[in-house]
Amino acid sequence: MRTLYPPITPYREHTLPVDALHTLHIEECGTPDGIPVVYLHGGPGAGISPTHRRFFDPARYRIVLIDQRGSGRSTPFGELRGNTTQDLVADIEKVRELLGIERWLVYGGSWGSTLSLAYAQAHPDRATGLIVRGVFLGREEENRWFAELNGGARWIFPERWDRYEAHIPEDERGNMLEAYWKRLDHADEAVRIAAAQAWLGWEDNAATLVHDVDAASATDPLDTLAKARIEAHYFRHNTFLAHGQLLRDIDRIRHLPGVIVQGRYDIICPPRSAWDLAKAWPEATLEMVIAGHSANEAATTDALVRATDAFADRS
């Protein structure tokens, strides 16, 4: 099975003001005259990490990684104002123009798959193809599956769900998202942090097929708070997309080569979404692998590295 490429460091970093409030952090890795690819991270709000650079052959790719608004090293950290899907799509274009790239491969997992599809559909002439993983189409039923009592994920990970649910009083559990938002937006920072830790405690340890349900997160509390608030902000607004928009507008990108990698046992972004995308986009290749949600599981990493290598072989 294929594994990640060896660790690399950026050969160039940029800061890009995209409006009066937000400034993005951007990294370039690999080969300056290589095949351009833009890496769109998940979350929303998770930010980029050194591991994300390693899904691409650094000898063949010019790898561009962007900390989205409010994420990672972009500023202001955790900011929700001016932070919508449409803003992020516009930002990706500004990064492309800054770097003088005509067209690039678009790569994203989880929320990054949502943003990849939204960007490519808005700018199909700027994409050479797409590789998406752990597909999330931004639909209300996908949010309900993972976050609400009438979803399905609570039946799979009952230990984690009970801790997520226990943070909310019984009379507010009919709308867990709004109940959590009430606490994530509370005036008391301690209340906000406790809610964020419960929110991400449910998510983070449901990400892999095999995991310790009792594991505690070592993430910095303020990082946890920023990510949880950005996620809840997007989910409360149905990811700022019309219902079914990414499937509705699929014809805009059907001419592009596409690879869809999906964990068969992904509980966070279940396979139904990848299947629906593949049915709407029959020209794309769907590969179901024996894994959960995380890109770092062996079968998913293998499929993704094979996909990036195959794209480079064709270029």
CATH number at residue 25: 3.40.50.1820
Q: How many domains does the chain have?
A: 2
**What is the chain's mean pLDDT, rounded?**
95
Q: Tens digits of per-residue pLDDT, 269-296?
A: 999 999 999 999 999 999 999 999 999 9
- Identify the domain boundary among 185, 204, 239: 239
245 and 235 within one domain: no
70 and 50 within one domain: yes
Q: Give the model's pLDDT for residue 211.
A: 67
Q: How confident is the model at residue 163 (pLDDT cuts 50, 70, 90)?
A: very high
Residue 302 lies in a domain: yes
Whole-Å CA distances, 147 to 25, 152, 186, 203, 235: 30, 9, 20, 9, 10
Q: Give the model's pLDDT for residue 261.
A: 98
Output the six-digit token pair for 29: 């890795």
Q: How confident is the model at residue 207 (pLDDT cuts 50, 70, 90)?
A: confident
132 and 145 within one domain: no
Strand order in the sheet with 104-109: 12-17, 23-30, 61-67, 35-40, 104-109, 127-133, 258-263, 285-289
192 and 102 within one domain: no
Q: Tens digits of per-residue pLDDT, 13-62?
A: 999 999 999 999 999 999 999 999 999 999 999 999 999 999 999 999 99
Average pLDDT of the segment spanning 251-268: 97
Residues 311, 257: contact at Cβ < 8 Å?
yes
Cβ within 8 Å of residue 114, ≥6 positions away: 85, 108, 136, 137, 138, 239, 241, 246
193 and 79 within one domain: no
148 and 126 within one domain: no
Residue 4 lies in a domain: no
- Identify the domain boundary among 173, 207, 239: 239
Output the six-digit token pair for 5: 């490429």
29 and 47 within one domain: yes
257 and 159 within one domain: no
Residue 3 lies in a domain: no
**Residues labelled as active-site residues:** 110, 266, 293
Question: DSSP secondary-structure letter at 4?
Answer: P
119 and 246 within one domain: yes
- Identify the domain boundary among 239, 271, 306: 239
CA angle 223, 229, 232 (to 5 degrees): 140
Position 219 pLDDT exceeds 90: no
Residue 7 lies in a domain: no
29 and 113 within one domain: yes
d(CA 232, CA 241): 15
199 and 81 within one domain: no
Q: Give the model's pLDDT for residue 144.
A: 93
Range of the domain at 257: 12-138+241-314
Position 210 pLDDT exceeds 90: no
Q: Give the model's pLDDT for residue 215.
A: 60
d(CA 244, CA 166): 32
Q: Tens digits of per-residue pLDDT, 98-108?
A: 999 999 999 99
Q: How confident is the model at residue 298 (pLDDT cuts 50, 70, 90)?
A: very high
Output the six-digit token pair for 143: 């949010």
